[in-house]
Structure formats: structure tokens, C-alpha cells
Amino acid sequence: MSSIVDTSFLNFSFTNFISNGLSALSYNTNTSKNMTEYTPPYNAVLFVDSRFFEKTENEITDAITGVTMKLLKENDKFPVYITVSEDQSSLIFKKLDSFVGAYNNVIKLVDELQGTSGIMKRDSSVGYLRNFLTDIQTKTYNNLTLKSLGFKFDTKDIMSLDIGKIDSAMISNLSNVTAALNSLAGELETTVNSYIDSIIPDQQNTYRTLINEYIKAEKTTYKSFNR
């Protein structure tokens, strides 16, 4: 029975194809070649800070410390300027982590001093400090609340960070976030400095006066019993 379609042009050796595989596509400048090289490859060449670099690949890692450059196209007419700066998000996270730790330490210390057996449970200045620190939970800074930025507070006013939320806020508008945090830092600095410069020294003087009065009263009582 004759074939309707002539397939004789497909008559080639599959055995040869299988045995040789894709070697027919090989290219080696030192041995036999099955392809012709029309455009030879060139090394990547660049100047950085008056230093010459020549690489066989387009990814340069040793020209600038800590920077990886990927060369995408040739440019021999105009200089290319690269600005290298610190990762602002990473820097902010480090500072926030330090701030959260310091804030929580103060809250815990104040609660200890003003607890049932605390030595300063009747000291109103300590209570005012705690109230100020907890008020930041509801205040707005640059029209943003701390909770909207990703700060969290538990029932004991201990602070923590929602990393995903604050990261999203920084990606959305980093300048707004930094402005809010700077506003918070400025307010905290003013209050803390007032405690360091005046409130605490004044309270120290008050306690010294009270102690001296107690000592005098004790001496007077002692003398009255020994007459």
C-alpha cells in the first residue's frame, strides 16, 4: 500500500542522533567545531575610582566593598555615578529595638518602685512619669499613632513591635514614619531631661530633708526616754 504523504525526506539516522546527543551543537576553540564563531566574547571592563577592572563575568563584587554591580550594557561616553548609603529601614529597626527595650525597662522599674511594697509608692513624681510614658500609646505624632505604625502594648503597658506592620509603613512612606518617630523622640527627650535636670534633684533634696527630720525626731525621742 502506497503512502499518501511522502515522508522520505525524514529518512535520517535516529541511531546516530541518539548516540551523539547534542554534541553536534558543541563549540570548542581548541578542538573540532560544529558551529562557527562570528562574534567573539569580550571581558567586562570598567574603571572605578581610577582603578581598572577586567572580568570574565558581568557581576562585579570587588570594586567597591560591600557593593555588587551588575553590568547590563556598554557605556564608554558618560560616567556612571553610584550612591552608596546605609539601609535606612535596617537602621531604624535597630534603633526601635533599642528604644523598646529601654522603654520596657523603665515601665518595669516604675511598677516595682510603686508596687505594694515599693519604696516610692507614695511618690507622685514617679506616678507622673509612668502616666507620661503610657500616654504615648494614644497620642499622635505627625498625624500617626504608634499603634498604626506597628507598636503593640500588653495589659501591663509593655511595648513590642509588629515587624510586618511597621515594615509596610516604612515601604509606603518612610519620610512620614521617620517624622513621627522624631516627633516622639523629641517629646520623650524633653520630659526625660526635665526629670534628670530638676524633678529628680528636687525629690532628692526633699528626701534628704525628710531623713534629717526623722533623725532629729529619733534623737529627741531617745533623749526623752533617757532623762
pLDDT digit string (tens) for 66-82? 778 787 777 777 777 77
Q: Which of 3-7, 42-46, 108-112, 180-184 has the lowest mean pLDDT?
A: 3-7
User: 79 — phi, psi (to 5°)?
Assistant: -70, 150
Provide the 10 A C-beta neighbour count for residue 184.
19
Higher pLDDT, 118 or 33: 118
Half-sphere exposure of 100 (CA within 13 A, CB side): 18
Angle between helices 163-194 and 88-113 (to 10 degrees): 50
Sign of the dihedral defined by the CA atoms of residues 99, 105, 111, 113, in that order? negative
Distance of CA 53 to the CA centre of its chain: 33
On whether residue 128 sits in a domain, the answer given is: yes
pTM of the model: 0.56
On whether residue 72 sits in a domain, the answer given is: no
pLDDT digit string (tens) for 140-194? 999 999 999 999 999 999 999 999 999 899 889 989 999 999 999 999 888 888 8
On whether residue 41 sits in a domain, the answer given is: no
On whether residue 40 sits in a domain, the answer given is: no
Nearest Cα neighbor of 49 from 34, 32, 62 is 62
pLDDT at 10 over 50: no
Question: Residue 14: pLDDT band by 50, 70, 90 thresholds?
Answer: very low
Question: Residue 57: pLDDT band by 50, 70, 90 thresholds?
Answer: confident
Q: Which domain holds residue 116?
A: 88-225
On whether residue 53 sits in a domain, the answer given is: no
Greatest Cα pair distance in the chain: 146
What cell does 56 get? Answer: 570574565
On whether residue 78 sits in a domain, the answer given is: no
User: Is 42 within 8 Å of 73 (Cβ atoms)?
Assistant: no
What is the number of domains present in the chain?
A: 1
Burial zone of 172 (CB within 10 Å; 0-12 exposed, 13-18 middle, 19+ buried):
exposed
Alpha helices in 136-199 (DSSP H): 146-149, 163-194
Mean pLDDT, the chain, integer:
77
Beta bridge pairs of residue 44: 55
On whether residue 62 sits in a domain, the answer given is: no
The cell 552608596 sits on which residue?
A: 84
Nearest Cα neighbor of 145 from 115, 120, 181 is 181
- Percent of the chain whose pLDDT exceeds 70: 71
On whether residue 207 sits in a domain, the answer given is: yes
